Amino acid sequence: MMKKEEKEEFIDEVGVKSKGKFKFILIIIILLLIIAGLMVWIIKYDVLKKDDKKVSSKSNDKVILKHSNPQTVKSEGVYITDVSDVVDEVMPSIVSITSKTIIDSGNYGFYFYGGKYTTEGAGSGIIVSENEKEIFILTNYHVVKNTDELSVKFIDDKSVDAKVKGVSERNDIAIVSVEKSKLDSKTLDSIKIATLGNSNELKVGNGIIAIGNALGYGQSVTTGVVSALNREVSTDEASQDMIQIDAAINGGNSGGALLNSKGEVVGINTAKYSSSLTSSSSASIEGMGFAIPISDVENLITDLISGKDDEEGLLLGVEGYMTNSTELSSYGFPTGFYVSGIVKGGNAADSDLEIGNIIVKADGKEITSFSSLKKVLNKKNKGDTVKLTIKYVKGNEYKEKDINIKLEK
């Protein structure tokens, strides 16, 4: 029979051994959990890495994105948009433009002459074409308007003198040319021609990228979406239908590129809304930038590069007045342009348009003012056709029909 002291000693020994075994098992379990967690992390990382490789690839030196929008990765609940691949491809096509204008301040009184001084302006441009001797850069007309000197800085920071090749004031675009003989081989190898896209395919909500020489500090990139299409915007140069975007547009961005997610130029950054508000309001206008749709001016760009003059507002060759005055509207005249005369030898001379007709629409747009008719005509190039919807009197009522007039003169 075991003695009491031996029994207690045996229990203590078993207890100590049992506790040691439990600790050992617990350590093993913890180690297994850590190893399992590391394996799960490694698998997830490998999947993300493979997906990242699938998102963008290069084919024929042009970035092709898997989706229509830039690559988006979710990290800890935050969405990060990466457009670096697109920007790397397009940046060699973008230039900074610096202009100098000599201002004559004139006389101030009989004895004092203010003298002359030079002002500088900053803008952006897009390399759109080249030939054996020149490189052609697209920008806004207001960037080069009334300038005495122009210089262009390329991606390698090389600056050279440039000259205006052709302008279209009514469309607020211009072509600037640089002689290749002024550039060394390093600069020529570093630049590239931009790819023009189709702005007619844009949809509200599409992702876009804006690149330009913001405030003259050099090229910068902003991103956003298409906020609206066909917004009528009036500037000092023209009234046009533009693409509205929420990407930041600042002074110096004018003439820069608006890109789709494939890196194609779909617009020319041109304007933004700003406001000067009273101190009683803390509101401000933000996220309202505008760009000229590239498809609206693509043919004109080709003409300006080839040296053809832009037809500054083709004319119908008619005389008349608007009918929406109080006096005329009270007599039941339809709102539109009343044709009181047709110019001999003008574009309308050999058409079906007659004196007494009222032009109520042009290319489907209602004519409510002289400027609305001029706006439609300003978008036309020589040889284009405009469709006029006219109302004419038949019996005791107005009838409606369409007339096509070719703008050749």
CA count, 13 A, side-chain hemisphere, 312: 8
Q: Is 67 part of the annotated catalytic residue set?
A: no
* DSSP code for 310: P
Q: Is 142 part of the annotated catalytic residue set?
A: yes
Kindly report the pTM of this predicted structure: 0.63
Q: How many CB atoms lie within 10 A of CB 172?
A: 28
- In sequence order, which residues have a C-beta less than 8 Å from that of residue 78 and are 6 or more positions away? none
* 102, β-bridge pairs: 118
Q: Is the pLDDT of residue 183 over 50?
A: yes
Which residue carries 């050099």 as its tokens?
A: 218
* DSSP code for 356: T
Per-residue pLDDT, averaged over 200-217, amounts to 85
Of 3-7, 51-55, 110-114, 391-395, minimum mean pLDDT range: 51-55
Position 266 scores a pLDDT of 94
- In sequence order, which residues have a C-beta less than 8 Å from that of residue 61 and are 6 or more positions away? none
Report the amino acid identity of residue 136: F
Of 161-175, 256-270, 295-309, 313-327, minimum mean pLDDT range: 313-327
Cβ(297)–Cβ(159) below 8 Å:
no
Active-site residue identified among 254, 261, 303, 372: 254
Cβ(390)–Cβ(405) below 8 Å:
no
Whether 199-295 and 91-190 are alike in CATH topology: the answer is yes
Which residue carries 């397009």 as its tokens?
A: 90
pLDDT band at 2 (very low <50, low <70, confident <90, very high): very low
- For residue 297, the SS3 value is helix
Q: Is the pLDDT of residue 201 over 80?
A: yes
Give the span between the Cα atoms of 275 and 290, in whole angstroms. Answer: 15
Position 50 scores a pLDDT of 47
- In sequence order, which residues have a C-beta less than 8 Å from that of residue 115 and are 6 or more positions away? 104, 105
Q: Is the pLDDT of residue 263 over 70?
A: yes
Q: Pick the more confident residue, 108 or 325.
A: 325
Cβ(51)–Cβ(73) below 8 Å:
no
Strands 163-168 and 397-406: unpaired
Stated length of the chain: 409
* DSSP code for 368: -
Which residue carries 């469309």 as its tokens?
A: 171
Q: Which fold has domain 91-190?
A: Thrombin, subunit H (2.40.10)
Cβ(293)–Cβ(267) below 8 Å:
yes
Position 108 scores a pLDDT of 56
Position 40 scores a pLDDT of 60
Q: Which fold has domain 318-406?
A: Pdz3 Domain (2.30.42)
Written as six digits, the tokens of 223 are 């991103």
Q: Is 296 part of the annotated catalytic residue set?
A: no
Cβ(223)–Cβ(80) below 8 Å:
no
Per-residue pLDDT, averaged over 367-380, amounts to 81
Active-site residue identified among 85, 168, 172, 199: 172
**Would you say domain 199-295 falls under CATH 2.40.10.10?**
yes
Q: Is the pLDDT of residue 116 over 60?
A: yes
Position 353 scores a pLDDT of 93
Report the amino acid identity of residue 24: F
Secondary structure (DSSP) of 314-344? ----EEEEES-SHHHHTTTPPSSEEEEEE-T
Active-site residue identified among 99, 129, 142, 310: 142
User: Would you kindly state where each structural domain of the chain is located, as residue ranges?
Assistant: 91-190, 199-295, 318-406
